[in-house]
Amino acid sequence: MTPLYDSLVFEEAPERHPGRHEVVNATLERGGERIPVVVKKVPLDLRQRLSTPKAVRSFATARALLARSLATPEPLAAEIVGDESWYVARRLEGAAQIRVWFLHRDDPRRPGPPLPFSFEEVVVALGRLGRRMHDAGVFFRDFTDGNVLVTGEAGTLQLWLVDLNRARVGKAPVPPLSRYRDLARPGLNRLEDINLLLSSYFLPDLPPARAVRAVRWLRRRIVLWDDFKAFARPWRR
């Protein structure tokens, strides 16, 4: 796989972004241009060696999202380096994970959001993003609050999708059950917060009762599974 750049220079002590795999800051140099980027490094397991590496899937998915007017950081390169696949995307300066709002909502003692948007504003924006995503044929499969970034100033809220390798992109709108599975992923556990998400998703209609029941049931399963994983694999916390 040929790199789509002249060089990639990592910072001396690169900032490591949250996530299970290594995601660090670097500068990409291409045709005299210096572009701030993030590089996600994923170890190549047997499945990736026999099929498509995650970096390549992320690169293709990012292009598909942009073609559907869904915001994701600009994909710049995907390559194999030793025993890892590297996905390189333009860095979003000043971006925050949407989970900052959700964690502060659950526990006000946690640090507040670094951007001037209310909890309600980001949840409504998330619901609208989910609807556009699903109507465009994108089943994200990992629509968690760690995989949605927030940027902007007052009145210009923008959400960005990241960590794309699990997403599936089709030509037809996503079917209902897959929609509910995505909508249960964000860390919203209060009934009123789930209702706010679904109300913005189904606008101008009211959320169907079956959708509310399905998302609440799926959310409970996700929470139980996450609690089990945290107990069984404490090193991943």
Segment 141-154, tens digit of pLDDT: 999 999 999 999 98
CA distance linking residue 67 with residue 77, whole number of Å: 17
Strands (E), the chain: 7-10, 22-30, 33-43, 75-81, 84-90, 96-97, 138-139, 148-151, 158-161, 168-169
Residue 144 belongs to what domain range?
Answer: 96-236
Look at residues 35, 60, 90 and tell me which one is the last residue of a structural domain.
90
Query: Do residues 196 and 106 share a domain?
Result: yes
Does residue 2 belong to any structural domain of this protein? Answer: no
pLDDT band at 235 (very low <50, low <70, confident <90, very high): low
Query: Do residues 128 and 228 share a domain?
Result: yes
pLDDT of 237 > 60? The answer is: no
CA distance linking residue 60 with residue 67, whole number of Å: 11
Strands (E), 93-214: 96-97, 138-139, 148-151, 158-161, 168-169
Does residue 1 belong to any structural domain of this protein? Answer: no
Segment 47-105, tens digit of pLDDT: 767 778 999 999 999 999 999 999 999 999 999 888 899 999 999 999 999 999 999 99
Query: Do residues 110 and 159 share a domain?
Result: yes
CA distance linking residue 165 with residue 149, whole number of Å: 16
Q: What pLDDT does 4 receive?
A: 67
Residue count (the chain): 237
Q: Is the dihedral of CA 54, 59, 65, 70 positive or negative?
A: positive
Range with the largest mean pLDDT of 45-49, 108-112, 213-217 = 213-217
Which residues lie closer than 8 Å to 131 by C-beta, 6 or more apart? 200, 201, 202, 203
In this predicted model, which residue has the larger pLDDT, 176 or 15?
Answer: 176
Query: Do residues 77 and 153 share a domain?
Result: no
Angle at 140 between CA 234 and CA 180, to 5 degrees: 90
Query: Do residues 107 and 215 share a domain?
Result: yes
pLDDT band at 177 (very low <50, low <70, confident <90, very high): very high
pLDDT of 39 > 70? The answer is: yes
Query: Do residues 179 and 160 share a domain?
Result: yes
Look at residues 53, 70, 90 and tell me which one is the last residue of a structural domain.
90
Query: Do residues 51 and 120 share a domain?
Result: no
| Mean pLDDT of the region 107-128 | 95
- Supply 6's token pair: 């002249």
Does residue 225 belong to any structural domain of this protein? Answer: yes
- Total tally of structural domains belonging to the chain: 2
Query: Do residues 84 and 108 share a domain?
Result: no
State the CATH number of the domain containing residue 175. Answer: 1.10.510
Query: Do residues 100 and 85 share a domain?
Result: no
- Supply 158's token pair: 């923008």
Query: Do residues 140 and 172 share a domain?
Result: yes
Contact 185, 214 (CB under 8 A): no
| Mean pLDDT of the region 131-135 | 98
Q: What pLDDT does 22 receive?
A: 87
Does residue 220 belong to any structural domain of this protein? Answer: yes
Look at residues 90, 107, 130 and tell me which one is the last residue of a structural domain.
90
CA dihedral 126, 213, 199, 100 (to 10 degrees): -30
State the CATH number of the domain containing residue 72. Answer: 3.30.200
- The dihedrals phi and psi of 184, each to the nearest 5 degrees, come to -85, -10
Q: What pLDDT does 149 receive?
A: 97
